[in-house]
Amino acid sequence: MKESLIEELRSILGPSGLLVDQGDLLAYSIDGTWLEAMPDCVVLPTSTQQVAQVMSIANRELVPVVPRGGSSNLSGGTIPINGGIVMSLTRMNKILEIDPDNLIAVVQPGVITHDLQSEVRKYGLYYPPDPSSVQHSTIGGNVAENAGGLRCLKYGVTSKYVLGMEYVTPTGEVGRAGGRVIKNVTGYQLEQLLIGSEGTLAIITEITLRLIPYPKYRRTLMAVFDRLEDAGKAVSEITRAGIIPAAMELMDRSCIQVVEDYLRIGLPVAAEAMLLVESDGYYESAVEAEIRHIDGILSELAAEVNLAEDESQAEDLWRARRSVSPAVAKIKPNKLGEDVCVPRSAVPEMIRRCQEIAEKYDLKLVIYGHAGDGNIHPNILFDKRDVDEVSRVQKAAAEIFQAAVELGGTLTGEHGIGLLKKGFLGLALDSTTIGVMRTIKRALDPNNILNPGKIFPDEASYLQVPFDVGRT
């Protein structure tokens, strides 16, 4: 990158708002995957005006810009594969407004998701989206990926809570989409277009969020199954009974074993599957009635059902679920953490196919996920230094994606496409739809400078995973 350009950026951002030393850049070359690529510099704006100025310069100079939040994403979406500028939005981290009367919060993109949840709870309010990275992921990143989490079965994903936003285009123009009201059909819903766009269409600089009253009462139970099919049937029976739990999480045998080895808390390692179910609400009697109904359904199918007696026991159960990621990190240095989504009734079959694929390629596989909405997380554990193992992971990933689509599902429920799945996009979307998406990208980003190389396939065949991303 030209020294004159570096100096121009420094004049806008100040000495602390621009990083160019190699040691500083290393932290911005990675994300939640094993992929890495070095940027030429990192900018840390503190205002929308600075974001707009940087984008105007980058567009003029044809320099790629990769927006970045907490970088907990699992698709390689923040890897700067073409070098250029990484724009970290972590310094734009203010909660600008909490409006209890209208159930609204206005935040900057760098606000940590858990921090927002904690702050609105002081007002008796709730921001439901809760990705596993809730402790360090940012609201801006959640919006860019349309993040979900454990409680999206009942409450929905991020898009359900975005009312409006301020954004900066790749050419440096500032705009606003949506507003502060629940009902709004004034023109195109551009805010919904930007949600889940993975930082490829605009940089989001302010978000207006919908809040709901905080559900005061919660009950949690664990069901243990000797057969995977019975766990799948239990999920269907619960929803067929007209019950939508706050969360309904599944862990397969391999996942239970891995977490037990990590925590040593007495998980049922001989079980084929384990189901965690949470009921919540605003009235204690209603929550108690619902959890007892769920208990009754599960008792007909499960080998064992344990109802948490208090909040402490409930937290122990959820700790097992939230400990999957650190637990698998103890087994292999790298993982391919996928998130295929299939119809709820197809979950057992999808898990079976994943297990068969892993066995076929002699790979360690751990499966868990949001059973209530069909979002399954097959985690393939490997060592990227082992060339043969990497090759087998590539082939296994292709077959997992193929299986998901064959079962009526799709490639991703909440992680996004990014780098790791872009070569598979043609499995899930037809050429017309991909063409429309490319047209939108060209219209908003004519010079293709904003997070280039993400989402859209550029390989001759989709049956490959781009493990080697180039610049390192």
* Average pLDDT value for residue range 98-126: 98
Q: Is the pLDDT of residue 459 over 80?
A: no
Q: How confident is the model at residue 325 (pLDDT cuts 50, 70, 90)?
A: confident
pTM score: 0.93
Can you read off the two tokens belonging to residue 130? 């809760």
Question: What was the pLDDT predicted at 377?
Answer: 93
pLDDT-based confidence at 88, cuts 50/70/90? very high
Q: Whole-angstrom Cα distance, residue 341 to residue 336?
A: 16
Is the pLDDT at 471 greater than 70? The verdict is: no
pLDDT of 132 reads 85
Sheet of strand 364-370: strand arrangement = 304-307, 217-225, 273-281, 247-252, 364-370, 375-382, 334-337
What structural domains and CATH numbers belong to the chain?
3-88 (3.30.43.10), 95-213 (3.30.465.10), 217-326 (3.30.70.2190), 332-416 (3.30.70.2740)
pLDDT (0 to 100) of residue 461: 33
Whether the pLDDT of residue 171 is over 60: the answer is yes
- DSSP class of residue 293 equals H
Alpha-carbon separation of residue 29 from 105, 159, 211 (angstroms):
32, 28, 34
| Distance (Å, whole) CA 178 – CA 48 | 17
Lowest-pLDDT range, 11-15, 33-37, 102-106? 33-37
Quickly state the pLDDT bin for 470 (edges 50, 70, 90).
very low
Q: What is the pLDDT of residue 469?
A: 39
Task: Give the model's pLDDT for residue 326.
Answer: 86
Residue 135 and residue 112 in contact, taking contact as beta carbons nearer than 8 Å: yes
Residue 453, pLDDT score:
95
Would the pLDDT of 467 be above 60? no
The tens digit of pLDDT for each residue in 356-415 reads: 999 999 999 999 999 999 999 999 999 999 999 999 999 999 999 999 999 999 999 999
Residue 188 has a pLDDT of 95
% residues pLDDT > 70 (the chain):
97
- The residues facing 104 across adjacent strands are 99, 210
Q: What is the pLDDT of residue 399?
A: 96
CA 115 to chain centre: 17
Q: What is the distance between the alpha carbons of residues 204 and 191, in angstroms, rounded to a whole number?
A: 10
Residue-level pLDDT at 458: 78
Cα gap 235→250, rounded to integer Å: 10
Looking at the predicted structure, is the pLDDT value of residue 464 above 90? Answer: no
**Tens digits of residue pLDDT in 58-74:** 999 999 999 999 989 89
pLDDT 10s digits, 176-201 = 999 999 999 999 999 999 999 999 99
Tokens of 27: 């932290």
Mean pLDDT for the chain? 93
Higher-pLDDT residue of 160 and 316 is: 160
Quick check: 462 pLDDT over 60? Answer: no
The CA-based angle 382-419-47, given to 5 degrees, is 120
Q: How many residues does this entry show for the chain?
A: 472
